[in-house]
Amino acid sequence: MRRAICPGSFDPITLGHLDIIRRASVLFDAVTVCVMVNSGKGGGMFSAEERLEFVCLAVEGLENVDCVRWDGLLADLVVQQGASALVKGVRGAGDFDWEYQMACINRGLGGAVETVLLPAAPEYVYFSSTMAREMIRYGQDLRKYLPAAVADRLRKGNEDHGE
């Protein structure tokens, strides 16, 4: 069985991430979406527990996709899961430069981990978690940016807190 890992900080997961996960689930027998720490990014909007909850909500219904949290090295998770590849989305040259470096580092960490880079679908080229956090802050319609279950969960959370 060929398993792919879709890693990311997912703060929060967007429709662009979900599109990449869906496409990976067609290319591979199984996909593990992994919520991780990006030490290059400062304190985010959501805790690791919340980010994992949102990812799990988003992938509900995708039969060969599961979700985990991993606080260690990505290359170690690849070994633990017996995965064949990492899958990440790229929105342009900037993403590609960065992901290429990451792919080389992960490859060098052992196990000859392969990275598959999927070009973002045109409708999601401008999507990012940074943009999603802005939309959350300014009370925009989140269903345009986030998986529906996540948008609904955030709206309900705000209603429960009387916002």
Binding residues vs ligand PNS (CB under 6 A): 7-9, 36-38, 41, 73-74, 102, 105-106
Q: Is 17 or 153 the residue whose CB approaches ligand PNS more closely? A: 17
Q: Contact at 8 Å (CB) between 61 and 95?
A: no
Q: Is 102 or 131 the residue whose CB approaches ligand PNS more closely? A: 102
Classify residue 144 as exposed, middle or buried by CB count within 10 Å of its CB (0-12, 13-18, 19+).
exposed
Q: Is 101 or 158 the residue whose CB approaches ligand PNS more closely? A: 101
Q: Is the peptide bond before 12 cis (omega within 30 degrees of 0)?
A: yes
- Using DSSP's 3-state secondary structure scheme, residue 43 falls into coil
Nearest approach in angstroms of CB 50 to ligand PNS is 15
- Which residue in the shown chain puts its C-beta closest to ligand PNS? 8
Q: Contact at 8 Å (CB) between 58 and 149?
A: yes
Residues with a catalytic annotation lie at 17, 41, 91, 129
